[in-house]
Every structure is written in C-alpha cells, then in structure tokens.
Structure 1
Amino acid sequence: MNRKTLVMPAVVGLLAPVLAACGGSASGGDSGDAIVVGTTDQFTASKEAPAPFDPAYAYDVGTWNVLRQTVQTLMVQPRGDGQPQPEAAEKCGFSDSGNERYSCTLREGLEFSNGDAITAKDVKFSIDRARAIKADSGVFALLSTIDTVETRGDREVIFHLNSADATFPFKLSTPVAGIVNPKDYEKNKLRDGFSVDGSGPYTVETEVKDDTVVKAVFTKNSHYKGQLKIKNSKVEMRSYESAATMGTALEKGDIDLMTRSMTPAQITKLDNASGGNINLNEMPGLEIRYLAFNTDSPSVKSTAVRQAMAQLINRGELVAKVYGSQAEPLYSMVPATITGHSNAFFNKYGDPSVSRARTLLTKAGITTPVKVTLHYTTDHYGTVTAQEFDILKKQLNASGLFDVTTQGTSWDKFVPAERAGKYDVWGMGWFPDFPDADNYLAPFLDKDNFLKSPYSNGDIINNLIPASRREADRLSASKSLTTIQDIVAKDVPLIPLWQGKQYIAARDNITGSEWALNSSSTLQLWELSRGVSG
C-alpha cells in the first residue's frame, strides 16, 4: 500500500564549541542483493572538468554524494542532523577559548580500503593538498580559515586557524576535508577520471560510457572503522537521463529507490496514490534556488537594473505554477528554518511592483527595455527548470522594462561557462555544505567565492563574516548575519527565489529510506536495507 512518510527535522544552526567522542563502528550484516538507487545526477569527465570525483575538486551535491560514501572525514553530520560528531576521529574539539585552535585525535587502527594504516600525516596531506591545488570549483574556500596543520605523533592533528571559526567542525565533515592516500593522490595535481579511494563505509567501482558514469557500485568496505552502522553489503546507483525514465524503472522494479530529481508531477502522483508498493518520504530540505549576476557585465552592472529585477519577480506565482506545495518563496539566501534567517528582500522590496521598478531605472538613467539573457542548466535541477525560467522571463517582460530571453545548457557545459564568466545572469541551486547560515553567505560573498563573482563588499569580507564566526552560539551571530543579508538585498549580487522540500520514493521492501537523506541532501546509503527494520 502506498504511504507517505513525513520526516521531521532536527534543530539546525546551533553549534557547540567542544565536541566529545561518539562511539560506534561499522556493523550490520549482508542484506542480500544490491539495493539499486536511481538518480538523474550525471557524472561526466571532460577537458574542462577532468577530475569530477577528486575531493580537492568536487563541489556539487551529486559528486559529494559519491564521496560521502567512500572518503572518510574527521567529523560527520549525524543521522537526523544536529551537531557534527567524530567519524575518522575519536574525539575533536576547540582547545582554546577563542575558537582558533582545533584538535582531533584519530581512531586507533584506522585504515584505507586497501589496508594501509592512516596516520595524522595523511590527514595533513589531504587538507594541505586541497588548499594548495585551489581548484577552480572553489571548494578549497571551505578551508580558508586554516592557517597551518600540525601533527603530533601518528594520531593527533591540530588545526591552527587564522581567525575564529565556530563553524569549523562542520567544515571538517565535508568531502573537501576527506582523507586520501598519498599513494593514490598526487600532492599538486588532481586525480583525473572516476576512481575514488578512501576509508569510508564503501568502496566504489564505476561503469563508464562516453566519459559519463552510467552505474556506480558501492561495496561495504571491510576496513572501515567509524561510527556509521552499515545496514547493507552493496548499493548500486544508476544514472538516468530523465526523471520519467527513472520513475518507470522504479515502477517496473528495475530499481528499488529513486531520489533527486523527481518532477513535481511525479511527487504529486505518488502523494495522491492510494495503492501500490511504492512509498513516498517527504523531508524538510535546505535546498534553495537563486539568480546570480556577473556584476561587471554591461547589461547588469548597474545596481538599479538588479534592484528592478528583484522588485519585479513574483516568487509566489513562480512557486505556485511550477512547484506547488513542494517549495516556498524565499526572501533571503538563508533558508527560513536556519538560525539567523531574515526576510531581507521582502523587507527591502515588498510585493512585486512595476511602478517601483520603473522608478529605480528612471532615477539611474537606464534606457528601457533592458536586454538580458537568463541562463539555466537543463539537466541538473530537474526538467521543470525550463518552465521556471520561462515564468521568470514572462514576469520581467510583462513589465515592459525588460527584454529577456532564456538559454538552457547541459550541466557539463553550463558549469565551465559560468566559471569562465560567460553569463551575465544565471540560475543556480545550492545544497548546503552544512546547515548553518554562514554556508549560505560566505561561499557567495567571501574572498575566493565559488561563483567567481566580481562582487566584493569589504565590510562583509573583513568584518561581518569574521564577526559571525566568532560566535559559537549561533543566536548571538544573528546581528552580523542579518546585516549581511540586508546588504545583499540592497546591492543584489544574488536574488533568492525559493526553498524546497526533498523526497525519496522507495519500494515497500526497502527500509531506512526515511533516513537516506539528511536536510543538506546528503545521501546516507548505509541506512538502507532490504526487508529488515531499521
């Protein structure tokens, strides 16, 4: 019988300054045949992006979900969210009162999947490698508060930070901080292709066609030592070109579970179904969508042009027509459920208004209609992205103040073009690296921002972001965080659009699917089992 499960969130946005050891280790027996998971994520190696699975390069939700299964980190975000807990580490914590010195002790007997012992020097190598390579994906910026990494003996690692950073434990839970074997990864060069070697709960083998992964098989790592309980022996992930073909595969029983990205129509159909053997799990999500601007491009260089667009966009209409109850309008880059959120764009612009937008452009001496192209990716965020951008185009053009066209591009070409500065305005999604307001602001606004945006605000970079990171109690950081959001609403280097829920559909002989995604859209394949209660 079809049923819908609602998974309630944990409190997010609250950090503790010291994190104690958390017990537990790999457990769970062989659960039979491989559990088969469907996804529309595409993993492609190209001349522009030859190393999609290298932890020093990868920086999108799909590739991170491969790495989180295979490359172990010192810390991990726990089941049900909450504060990060030790994983490859036995214990971690700040060892000073200013949150500038962070120490971790590795678990005893830690090994890579080939049986090689892991030492503190391997952790230092891995962190220093990502910082030194400085891949154009911008992922290295997550480690920007590290000054030096020190080791003491084989098991102790000490991070000396260049400024206070209460969010640092979360950053050590992200794949860029993953521990890799110096035998497999060169110090100053990315590892091309799809090979991944680490000490995580699984090893992975990929089937590749035309430089694209069509199947990835995750096998339980017999050398894994950590806190995660692995409830299956093998998971197979298959990539589909469309949500429709993925959905058909689930209905036929070719796959056991499907995750991102399902279409709103598929979700509604599953939600309304009264029979069958497929269960829909609805979970709160921290995924957002937004528009980004190349603020040096002539068409949108004027702040007034960007402000006028912010004044015209009708988020309520956009969400209602495309996503329905599966998303909510968003008026800040920080989601409404995160500590420090404010409705900065609504406070600044209120309801959509053509007259106010016209006044902004007239005062700035802007000739109308302003010609702008909105770029979006056709295959990374679901097939309805094209519909979303068509509505945005109609809203802006209906004002008579803009002459907007749209252009869709596949993800493998979209990302290199965006990073090369070829787009004036483009749409992106953000799946947080960790559930804290800092991670919705600093990646876009700090030095070395991952969008390669020319926008730079000295007060945000030099004062407000550092001030917010000094506060271990994230409620105390709200003043700095709110000021940042107000500046973004005024200068408009970005326009937030909506915040979405997330869903998993699984056949009814699969258990643990309600835990298979956390709020940051992190796949937790180890939670899945077949026919055994979690």
Structure 2
Amino acid sequence: MTGGRRWGLPIVLVAVAALLAGCAAGPSLGSTGIVIGTALPVTALDPAADQGAGGELVAEQIYPHLLTTKPGGDELVPDIARSARFDAAGAYVVTLKKDLLFANGDVLDARDVVHSFRRQTAIAAKGGPAPLLAGIASITMRDARTVVFQLKKPGDQGFPAILASPAGAIVDEQTFPATRLATDREILSARPFAGPYVLQSLNPGELLTFRADPAYAGALGAPVSPDITLKLYSDADSLAADVADRAIDLAYGGLGPAQTGRLRDDRLDLISEPGGSLRYLVFDFAEMPYGTKHSNDPKRALAVRTALADLVDRQDLADRVDAGATSPLYGFTSDDLPGASPVLRSMFGDGRGGPDSAEAGRVLRAAGVDTPVSLTITVVPDDAATGTLAEYEALQSQLQVGGLFNIVLSKVSPAVLATGREKGDVAAYQGGWSPRGRDPETYRAPYLVDDAHLGSHYTNPVALGLLARPATESDPTKRAADLLLVQQQLATDLPVLPLVQHRQLAATASGVTGVVFDGSLTLRFGSLRMP
C-alpha cells in the first residue's frame, strides 16, 4: 500500500467496543489457543514508560523494531528495516521496507520512526528506557523511508543493539503523544501495533489476549499460533500451581527456586537458558573497611575485597540455594554475550572457580589486615532483580569460613537502601543489573561511571579509557580484545563481586513446544506451538 496516512476511525470505534467487552467479561481460558501465565508485572503498554519486565514481554509481541535479534540467536538482523548501516561519516542510516502498516491501517513510515525516538527522550519517563538513547545527537528523516541517526560517538558499534532493545520500539505517531505517555486505554482502542501480534483485549490485572497480525512484515515471521492469552499472576506460587494443574499451558517469568524444585517433581518440561540479569555484591569505596571515609587505605581495602572474592562459592549458590534458577557468574557480563570472559575463575579462590579460605587468609596477612574484618551487607529480602534472602544468608556463611570476616546482614526496604546509598552510609549491598540492550558495554559501563548506577565512589581512568575504545572499533577481533582488557581491569579492582546470573525459565504443560530463549532476553510468543 502507498499513499498518505489515515486515522482509521471506524477501526478505533470497533476496538473501543472490544475493550469494553473485554473489561466486562474477559476471555475464557477454555478458548482455543495457547494460555501463558506470568508473574511479571505489566505496568504500562507505552514503551516509553517504566513498563516492568512484564510490560516489556508484552511490547516484544506488539511493537516492531528497526533491528531485532535473529530468532534463536544473538545476531542482529533487520526487522522492519530493509537496510541499516554506518555511512562514511559514522552516522547510522536506516531504510524501511516498503508498504508498512500498523494494525489500524495507518502507514508506518520514517515520520513514525523519528517520532518514536524523539518522544522517548522528550518524555524521559522515570525508569523508562530513554537513557539508552543518550548516544543520539540528532535524528532526521531523509525521505519517507529513510532515517539518519547522528551519533555523539560517530561509528558507535554498540548503537545497532540499542535499536533492538526496548528503547527501539516503533510506535504510531497518530496515537502516541509527543510529550506525554499514552494511556493503556488510548493504545488499545487505537490498535497502533505492527509487531507479530495485535493486542485484542485487556482485562486489567487478569488477562490479555493476542491475535496474530497477518500484515506483520518483520524478521520474526508469521506466528505459529494465531491466538495467545496471557494470564497475569500476583505471585509465583499460584503461577506454578496452575501450570502444574494444567490450568495454563506455559508458565514464564517470576519462577524462582521454590517453584523450580516443585515443578521438577511434577514432571513438567522445564526450559532454562542464561537470562542476561546479573546479581552481585556492591562495595562502597568510601564506606567499606579501609575506605576513603575511614582510614583511606586503598591497599588494605583491595585486600578485603580480594579475600571476599576468594571465599565465594558460586556453584553452591546456584545449585543448592537457587535450585538451578541461576548459574555461577565468573565475569562482568552475561555468559552468552560475545566477548564474555570468566576472568574471576582463575584469579580468585582455588583458581578453578571454587573457594579457598587459606588463600583469603594469605591475602589479608600480606596486606597487614587485622582479622576478623567486620562488614555489614545491606540486603532487600527477596528482591527478584538482585537476589534472595536465602542467597545472602548462604553468602554470609561462606564469607565467614575460616573466621576471617564477621558478616552482618542488615535487612531493609528498597527505600531505606536507596536513602542509605545516597547518604553514603552503606558499606556493601545487594545489587544487580538487568540491561535492556545486548551490547557488552551496557553491562560494563555501570561499573565504571562513578555513581551513575552503583553509587560506589569507584572510578578508574584507565578502565574508562579502555571502555571508550571498543565503542567505535569496527574490527570484531580488536573490539573483543579491548573488552577483555576492561573485564580484567574490573577483576583487578573489584568494584562489585559477581555472584550468579539469572536464568530465563519456562515450565510447559499440555505438550507445548517452541519455547526459544535468545538475544531478545524475553519470551517470543510466535514460535510456540500446541501439539
């Protein structure tokens, strides 16, 4: 289809009626199609908002991107783009495919692309993905199908991955305001979707129904299953109980160690892959023992961090405590990312990934550190993003082996932890990172930019210089080498102590197949198949 853009008013009226009907009764779980359950919160449909993990799960199904990750892998491929490349000056030029449409009939062209990115940065919703777009200097429309991104670092090799992240969702200019978030009702009634699925109805707090979009022209292809229902759960136990009872076909999102063991006992099919989210112990270089607020002895402070690293048993945390819901983390990025390296495995403990209390004692004695060293770790019990209380109680026991440390766990609310970090009153705390992009720099930058994410008072000009080099390096071999140097510098300084990596986990019943975890870091509905 060619020609001008239109509003599609009759479709909007039909959609409003469908919305009201959905709110009144809601879809039946006995209907045809696959029923998925999730305990991930869906807080908003607007991709510029803080959607929560559940919102991003929904957005992956209904909004297109210029680029996406190839199904089943990490390779970036065009989604609704026909081509995407750096020009000679280092700008990123994207040309759209022909005849693109939203589900409501509006034409999808370069104006929508420019609008999508400009509104993200204009709204800058708290907790939203707008910070990922900080590297864009300007975005302009060359013609109806061509968009030019001028970058603050021309030739930034990490930028294509941003286009495939939640920050890169393309929305309908006719529906989404330029300076405020669209409401869920506005979005659902206008049907401004151009992903593999169209969101048909939303029963707030309970059910969302999806229908495959026959006009989708992106890289993910036509969905195998045309109808999907997503049921929202407030707790993981209820989700696990329903999939075990075959009340739903598949459970994804929010399943933890307690549910994992139970589902294995119920002989359900469990699919588990690295999930991208990391959990680690964060040190405040000012407040920690021998930190700059106290005796300001960097040598002894580093010895304390090193000895703690020698005592951690990550395999025990992953296998015994987390029941396979996590895997050991020996580096500073997700294991499945290009350039990931288990640098900590050989540098600490027994040199094979295990703990070594004798080595920890040697490090402390060599630095003249009196033992036991007292350290308070501030934790938020059962924070799904950064760890569980069980993990940190096990870690406390590990760190006290040999009597070298006296570890106290201070259990607080998220608000109290945030206040303590701002005031600089927290020596070490439970931390984590769930990146929204697949480029390795999205993992490493938070450790290195002082107070941008960790509030750790750590900075290292050498490491920052190393981090800047890979950004514009187009040679993959040289880029990988520079990224390894960054990780080695982080391992030497230990601003954080990596512990475990979250695993994406799905439990299937009713013979559902086609669960694929890939570089999208979420579940794509389109590959799911009923027997």
Once residues 301 and 237 of structure 1 are traced to their aligned partners in structure 2, the CA distance between those partners, rounded to angstroms, is: 49
Give the superposed CA RMSD.
Answer: 3.6
Find the partner of 2:55 among 63, 69, 75.
63
Q: Give the 3 Å change call, closer, same or farther, for CA 117–377 of structure 1 in structure 2.
A: farther
1:37-56 matches, cutoff 5 A: 37-44=36-43, 52-56=44-48
Name the structure 1 match of 2:163: 172
CA contact (8 A) 1:431 1:521 kept: no
Q: CA deviation at 1:444?
A: 4.2
Change in 2 beyond 3 A, CA 1:194/1:108: same
The corresponding residue for 2:395 is 392
1:511 aligns to what SS in structure 2?
coil
Q: How does 1:100-115 map to 2 (within 5 A)?
A: 100-115=90-105
- The one-letter code matched in structure 1 to 2:80 is A
Count the aligned residue pairs.
Answer: 479
Within 5 Å, give how 1:122-161 maps onto structure 2: 122-137=112-127, 139-161=129-151
Equivalent position of 1:317 in the other structure = 316
Provide the residue aligned with 2:473 in structure 1.
471
Could you tell me whether the CA contact under 8 Å between 2:275 and 2:504 is conserved in 1?
yes
Mapping 1:41-440, distance limit 5 Å: 41-44=40-43, 52-58=44-50, 61-96=53-88, 100-137=90-127, 139-163=129-153, 164-191=155-182, 196=187, 197-204=192-199, 205-208=201-204, 213-221=205-213, 224-227=216-219, 228-264=221-257, 266-268=259-261, 270-271=263-264, 278-297=268-287, 301=291, 303-304=301-302, 305-324=304-323, 327-351=326-350, 352-354=355-357, 357=360, 360=364, 363=367, 369-376=373-380, 378=382, 380=384, 385-398=388-401, 399-407=403-411, 409=413, 424=426, 425-440=428-443
Consecutive unaligned residues of structure 1, counting only runs of 5 or more, are 1-30, 45-51
Question: Aligned partners of 1:191 and 1:397: how far apart in 2?
Answer: 51
Q: CA deviation at 1:385?
A: 2.0
Q: How far apart, in 1, do the equivalents of 2:175 and 2:423 lie?
A: 33
- Which of these two proteins has the greater Rg computed from alpha carbons? 2
User: Offset of 1:298 from its aligned partner?
Assistant: 5.9
Displacement of 1:299 after TM fit? Answer: 6.5
Kindly provide the amino acid, as one letter, of the partner of residue 370 in structure 1: S
* Distance change >3 Å, CA 124–CA 296, structure 1 → 2: farther
Q: 1:453 to 1:130 in 2, by over 3 A?
A: farther
Q: 1:88/1:476 Cα in 2 relative to 1: closer, same or farther (>3 Å)?
A: same
Contiguous gaps of at least 5 residues in structure 2: 1-29, 293-300
Shift in Å, 1:414: 8.8
Q: Which residue identity lines up with residue 230 of structure 1 in the other structure?
A: P
Matches of 1:376 and 1:152, distance apart in 2: 49
Q: Distance between the aligned counterparts of 2:380 and 2:320, measured in 1? A: 18
Partner of 1:5: none
Kindly indicate whether the alpha-carbon contact (under 8 Å) linking 1:432 and 1:520 is maintained by their aligned counterparts in 2.
Answer: no
User: Please, which moves more after superposition, 183-192 or 521-530?
Assistant: 183-192
Counterpart in 1 of 2:523? Answer: 523
SS at match of 1:459: helix
Does the CA contact (< 8 Å) of 1:433 and 1:520 recur in 2? no
Q: What corresponds to 1:12 in structure 2?
A: none
Is the contact between residue 91 and residue 105 of structure 1 (CA under 8 Å) also seen in structure 2? yes
* Percent of aligned pairs sharing the same letter: 27
**Residue 172 (structure 1) shift:** 0.6
Cα pair distance change 1:191/1:153, threshold 3 Å: same
Distance 2:382 2:176 in 1: 33
Quote the offset at 1:365 in angstroms. Answer: 6.7
RCO (CA 8 Å, sep 6+): is it higher in 1 or 2? 1
Q: Which range moves more in the overlay, 304-313 or 491-500? A: 304-313
Query: Deviation string for 1:427-473 (max 9, x for gaps)?
Result: 34445544443332134435884556653333333x32232133334
Return the offset for 1:122: 1.9
Letter in structure 1 aligned against 2:207? K
